[in-house]
Structure 1
Amino acid sequence: MITEYLIIAAVIAVIILTGQATARWAGVPSAIPLVLFGAGAGFLPVMAEAVVPPDVILNLYLPLLVYHAAFLTAPRETRRDAVPISALAFGLTCVTAIAVAGAVQISVPAIGWAAALALGAAVAPTDPVSATSIMQRVGAPRRMVTILEGESLVNDAVALTLFGLAITALSEKITLAAGGLMLLRVVVGGVLYGLLVGWLIARIRRRIVDTGAQIVVSLVTPFLAYLPAEHFGMSGVLATVTTGFYLGTRANGLLQPKSRLAGTAFWDVLAFLLESSLFVLLGLELRQVLAAVSDYSAAALAGAAVLIIGVVVLVRPLWTLAAFPLVTRMTGRHLSFEHVGRAQRLVMGWAGMRGAITLGIALSIPMTVPHRPLLIFLAAAVVLATLLGQATTLGPLLRRLGLGESGRTVVEEARAREAIVEAAVARLDDLTAGGEVDEHTAQVYRQLLELRLDKVRAFLGDTGTSPQEPMSSAGTRPGTAGAGLRRRLAQAQRERLEELYRKGKVSADIRRRLIHELDLDAHRRSASAH
């Protein structure tokens, strides 16, 4: 049995590598070849054992994926754009789930409202990776990307909460009053428990120096948030999201550069494997799903799929074009929408691709739910249709509407580099004036820093020189005094970068990228010292 599991894991790994290479070659979303290759592998005799139980998807994949997304959330941007994010994450998610449930009742009435709502909850949340990667590559306005990222984080929790209520309604009758009390317990309890777990983990991680131990704690954290919350009738997803957000906003103060580098690399690889393997697992299950829905005619399956895809695709732009202007009529003080024009709302409405979270929710539907194969089939149809249709046309739509600003981000990053190097020069001058650094050493470091300043300023002067280079503050032989000075100069750069972020001068992506470079430099210095 162990040998068979190892063979299955090896086949899935080969499919992931081949699928990713094929996607790059063909210029299509990686989900397409992953599902197709997975479906092909389903005909291999050994892969008949590769059906993952729904509980594994729900209790393993989803906590890790939502925790990773929450940890990387940009707190300043999310807070600033709370109104449009809430309008999408709460309003649109609920409207989409209900609209899809209604479409299911029209096309396949035998499914029932509870199961139909479970499908609606599965296809309601969007995939942030597909949309934001395209928009960042084209250079879309940063605020649009931020709103979509914030929405995708919150709507996962909203959709999974609706999904849990729908699954519960399949096994027991829920009155309106009981449902309201249950929702209150699920939501409030999940958030409060998530805050408690985040607070405890933050204090534990401050006392851990070993990098390996830090990674182990980070890996265990989503399960500490998710599983107990679910056991006691609270929302495990909301608990996990809250914990991830709480720790993500404090990551720079919790971790040393070496731990931050190792943790980032570990979680990037883990998220890649989880998301890719979900598409492969869908492909592997597709053969059984198609066999199970063979009782329906091809016309009935196609009609139901087209209707639900149409609802999913059309409800979103209708909401962004109609609901956003209505928000400005709310009484009281709220966020101004003058920078979210009609063209931007149209793009955000079209950026509604579904991905790994939708697949994870669909595959986690219990085996006992009636019409489960049909629900998975319809969810898969929505995922593939939106990735193939919307993901491939989003870039051209952005360019046609004139929303590409590819040079803006580059200039913003260059100005941030200029500002933090200037902060290092100022700190060096203060240390020299205070007698903590001798003039000869100060002159060496000043020359190195000024060379970097000249390079960045040349780029800002449109000379065509690339401003990117490692954030190194060193160039002399390592020594105790030199190492201490480099650390203090790096700290000055970090402080200046945090100040720029707080004032809204740089985005969370640029801040994260420059912190990563500073961490790399600190790690190189530490390695060379040993």
Structure 2
Amino acid sequence: MEPTLFAVLAVVSIAVVAAFSERLKLAAPLSLVVVGIGASFLPGVPHPAIAPELILAGVLPPLLYSAAVNMPVVDFRRNIRPIGGLAVLLVVMSTLGAGWLFHWLIPGIGWPAAFALGAVISPTDAVAASSVGRRLGLPPRLLTVLEGEGLVNDASALVLLRSAVAAVAGSVSVWGIVGEFGYAVVLAVGIGLAVGVVNVRVRALLNNDVLNTAISFVVPFVAFLPAEELNASGVLAVVVAGLVTGHLGPRHVRATDRIAEATNWRTVAFLLESGMFLLMGLSVQTLLDEVHDDGTGVARALLIGLAASAVVILIRVVFVAPLIAGLHREQRKAARLKPRVETAQAALQGDEPDSGVGARLRRLSPRRLRRFRERLDRMAADIEFRLTETLGWRGGVVLGWAGMRGAITLAAAQTLPAATPGRAQLVLIAYVVAITTLLAQGLTLPAVIRAARVPREDPWRLRTEYVRLMGTLAGVAESILDDPELEDADGTPFAGRVLDQVRSDTRLPAEATTGPPSQEQIEIAHQYLRLRLRVLAEQAERLQQARASGEYSSAALSRAQTALDVETARFEQLGQAERG
């Protein structure tokens, strides 16, 4: 089959399977794997052989970058302990445990090759877990931990795999592995920081959303390639670059450029993720044939793969228990620290001028006092987060079961040296682990979430917090508009009608802050949304008529279409939130 025709059919298949998965309330990655496995046994269906380097260096960087850009740095920082534990310590434990199992079950494999295969199956793929979790309304902190783990654990596993492969060819000490790991992490973080900052600064100079998006497409590789060339973790460099870009982007990059970039990146990430899972299924028949021709035994490889799946699942469940206990201790510590922080904040506001804290604060310079206030406010927010956004044992159950492996495991398995004894069997074992955990855990994860009764996100709390934030922003607008010295860029005062219109657009409705809405207010809000969407639909129809008549220029039509699209999308999202 022609490559172009295969690519077209693959994209169409991905879209169709994803659409049916949404109707069936299944995660698309799971459906794509099942469809790919079934198609691999059909006559005439091609079994594409894609070099693993293409996946690790061509597909993985943009996928991780697109996820990291959307990960709030504050959330990542607040959850660095569970993310680090799952992405580093758990990967090491899984590598050691699975390596011991492989050395016991596979004669003559040797410890280095056993640990290499253990590193291959150690990283989880959080795509399916996060997609199921979002659909079922998991708490934001649990989703953040799952997604953060998926961002970082690939780097840990690939560094361990590199060390194990090097040990196959020679001798590598434990301290050598630790030193290589530290070097890879430190250098990768530095490269990622530099690339992220330069990326945002350069794109801030451009006034074109197409050019901005085009540059964003190469940023993952700009971070990945030099890090890999210097024997650092290219994957981690990409993640750091994405986090920095997502954090600094709203301050420097235009909103129009970010909207266009987000839409394009969602499409790219969807196709890359879906393509990897479809390829994962299509490769099964070819791999079975290779193991059969090798004579190492398909049945034995399947049994070892199932045993390894059980081992990595068990290790994760055992690891999560003390992790949740540690988060509970962290919560108790935050509760003890909260009164002290509140006392310091009261002293800063002058409510307790005679306290010892207030006396010490008065001795600080204005600059140090401002920095202290910023750190104190950040500490208070972190404490409130730890007290309200808790995981508990219910979240721990879901976290322990959401350990599905994915396409990265398959790509990493293909990088095992060709001279490795029984290589085809080892690759098949990795496939069995990936597919078993993906399907067995992925398909049962919704039932586990329901059985654990994980509390869903409180929509009223989220709405209240949103209203409070909008009230703060409305206050900023009022302070600007009430400034008697407010002038235009040319020094002339603004017209009164202009000030009134801007004040009306930015004022927060009075009833928005008065507790839970009544049934009448809810119905009025629904009517407003329906009427606003109807008006926008009529405006869009009139715009199409104007386009057909040719009475307006293309530039005017394009600008009007963009404004209508943004407004319609905003109100459609509000309507979905109200219905949800």
Distance of 2:131 and 2:460 partners within structure 1: 16
Match of residue 455 from structure 2: 404
Match of residue 376 from structure 1: 427
Match of residue 358 from structure 1: 409
Give the drift of 1:320.
Answer: 0.9
Distance of 2:5 and 2:126 partners within structure 1: 32
Matched residue type, 1:204: V
More divergent stretch after superposition (397-406 vs 150-159)? 397-406
Q: In the alignment, is the contact (CA less than 8 A) between 2:27 and 2:131 conserved in 1?
A: no
Match of residue 164 from structure 2: 166
Matched residue type, 2:412: I
Give the drift of 1:29.
Answer: 3.1
CA 1:132–1:17: 2 relative to 1, 3 Å: closer
Distance of 2:275 and 2:512 partners within structure 1: 43
More divergent stretch after superposition (10-19 vs 22-31)? 22-31
Residue in structure 1 matching 2:474, options 424, 428, 449:
424
Distance of 1:234 and 1:180 partners within structure 2: 13
Give the drift of 1:279.
Answer: 1.5
Gaps of 5+ in 2: 335-381, 487-492, 536-562, 571-580
Q: What secondary structure is seen at the aligned counterpart in 1 of 2:283?
A: helix
Matched residue type, 1:155: N
Match of residue 46 from structure 2: 47
CA 1:360–1:268: 2 relative to 1, 3 Å: farther
Q: How many residues align?
A: 475
What percent identity do the matched residue pairs reach?
A: 30
For residues 502-528 of structure 1, the C-alpha deviation after alignment (integer angstroms, 9 at most, x for no partner) is xxxxxxxxxxxxxxx99945999xxxx
Q: In the alignment, is the contact (CA less than 8 A) between 1:138 and 1:404 conserved in 2?
A: no
More divergent stretch after superposition (265-274 vs 167-176)? 167-176
Q: Which has the larger radius of gyration?
A: 2
CA 1:124–1:134: 2 relative to 1, 3 Å: same
Q: What secondary structure is seen at the aligned counterpart in 1 of 2:138?
A: coil
Q: In the alignment, is the contact (CA less than 8 A) between 1:421 and 1:453 conserved in 2?
A: no
Query: Map of 1:174-213 to 2, 5 A cutoff?
Result: 174-213=172-211
Match of residue 514 from structure 1: none
Matched residue type, 2:135: R
For residues 159-204 of structure 1, the C-alpha deviation after alignment (integer angstroms, 9 at most, x for no partner) is 2221222233333332334334333332222222222222332322
CA 1:280–1:146: 2 relative to 1, 3 Å: closer
CA 1:168–1:219: 2 relative to 1, 3 Å: farther
Distance of 2:12 and 2:40 partners within structure 1: 10
1:84 and 2:77 equivalent? no
TM superposition score normalised by structure 2: 0.72
Match of residue 340 from structure 2: none
Query: Map of 1:21-60 to 2, 5 A cutoff?
Result: 21-39=19-37, 40=39, 45=44, 47-48=46-47, 50-60=48-58
Give the drift of 1:234.
Answer: 1.7
CA 1:65–1:256: 2 relative to 1, 3 Å: same
Match of residue 9 from structure 2: 11
Give the drift of 1:422.
Answer: 6.5
Q: In the alignment, is the contact (CA less than 8 A) between 2:56 and 2:408 conserved in 1?
A: no
Give the drift of 1:362.
Answer: 3.3
Match of residue 117 from structure 2: 119
CA 1:363–1:43: 2 relative to 1, 3 Å: farther
Distance of 1:231 and 1:47 partners within structure 2: 34
Q: In the alignment, is the contact (CA less than 8 A) between 1:54 and 1:365 conserved in 2?
A: no
Match of residue 315 from structure 1: 315
Matched residue type, 2:473: A
Distance of 2:314 and 2:284 partners within structure 1: 26
Matched residue type, 1:312: V
Q: In the alignment, is the contact (CA less than 8 A) between 1:31 and 1:384 conserved in 2?
A: no
Q: In the alignment, is the contact (CA less than 8 A) between 1:96 and 1:124 conserved in 2?
A: yes
CA 1:16–1:110: 2 relative to 1, 3 Å: farther
Match of residue 93 from structure 1: 91
CA 1:261–1:244: 2 relative to 1, 3 Å: same
Q: What secondary structure is seen at the aligned counterpart in 2 of 1:250?
A: helix
Distance of 1:457 and 1:103 partners within structure 2: 61
Q: In the alignment, is the contact (CA less than 8 A) between 1:67 and 1:240 conserved in 2?
A: yes
Match of residue 560 from structure 2: none
Q: In the alignment, is the contact (CA less than 8 A) between 1:278 and 1:360 conserved in 2?
A: no
Q: In the alignment, is the contact (CA less than 8 A) between 2:200 and 2:253 conserved in 1?
A: no
For residues 136-172 of structure 1, the C-alpha deviation after alignment (integer angstroms, 9 at most, x for no partner) is 3333333222222222222222122212222333333
Match of residue 69 from structure 1: 67
Tell me how large the CA RMSD over aligned residues is. Answer: 3.6
Give the drift of 1:462.
Answer: 5.4
More divergent stretch after superposition (255-264 vs 157-166)? 157-166
More divergent stretch after superposition (411-420 vs 241-250)? 411-420
Matched residue type, 1:77: D
CA 1:246–1:441: 2 relative to 1, 3 Å: closer
Q: In the alignment, is the contact (CA less than 8 A) between 1:15 and 1:280 conserved in 2?
A: no
Q: What secondary structure is seen at the aligned counterpart in 1 of 2:13?
A: helix
1:135 and 2:133 equivalent? yes
Q: In the alignment, is the contact (CA less than 8 A) between 1:57 and 1:364 conserved in 2?
A: no
Q: In the alignment, is the contact (CA less than 8 A) between 1:425 and 1:446 conserved in 2?
A: no
Q: In the alignment, is the contact (CA less than 8 A) between 2:14 and 2:32 conserved in 1?
A: yes
Give the drift of 1:289.
Answer: 0.4
Match of residue 392 from structure 1: 443
Q: In the alignment, is the contact (CA less than 8 A) between 1:414 and 1:460 conserved in 2?
A: no
Match of residue 257 from structure 1: 255
CA 1:105–1:519: 2 relative to 1, 3 Å: farther
Distance of 2:565 and 2:513 partners within structure 1: 20
More divergent stretch after superposition (360-369 vs 212-221)? 360-369
Q: In the alignment, is the contact (CA less than 8 A) between 1:65 and 1:274 conserved in 2?
A: yes
Q: In the alignment, is the contact (CA less than 8 A) between 1:8 and 1:46 conserved in 2?
A: no
Distance of 2:4 and 2:232 partners within structure 1: 36
Residue in structure 1 matching 2:281, options 263, 280, 283:
283
Q: In the alignment, is the contact (CA less than 8 A) between 2:105 and 2:304 conserved in 1?
A: yes
Give the drift of 1:42.
Answer: 6.8
Q: What secondary structure is seen at the aligned counterpart in 1 of 2:63?
A: helix
Q: What secondary structure is seen at the aligned counterpart in 2 of 1:124?
A: coil
Distance of 1:453 and 1:134 partners within structure 2: 38
Give the drift of 1:262.
Answer: 1.0
Distance of 2:506 and 2:323 partners within structure 1: 50
Distance of 1:420 and 1:351 partners within structure 2: 35
Matched residue type, 1:402: R
Distance of 2:179 and 2:438 partners within structure 1: 37
Query: Map of 1:333-344 to 2, 5 A cutoff?
Result: 339-344=390-395
Give the drift of 1:35.
Answer: 2.8
Q: What secondary structure is seen at the aligned counterpart in 1 of 2:2?
A: helix
For residues 33-81 of structure 1, the C-alpha deviation after alignment (integer angstroms, 9 at most, x for no partner) is 3234334257565725x21112211210111122222222221122122
Q: In the alignment, is the contact (CA less than 8 A) between 2:308 and 2:433 conserved in 1?
A: yes
Q: In the alignment, is the contact (CA less than 8 A) between 2:65 and 2:238 conserved in 1?
A: yes
Distance of 2:320 and 2:218 partners within structure 1: 38
Residue in structure 2 matching 1:240, options 221, 238, 241:
238
Give the drift of 1:318.
Answer: 0.9
Give the drift of 1:277.
Answer: 0.9
Matched residue type, 2:438: L
Give the drift of 1:276.
Answer: 0.9
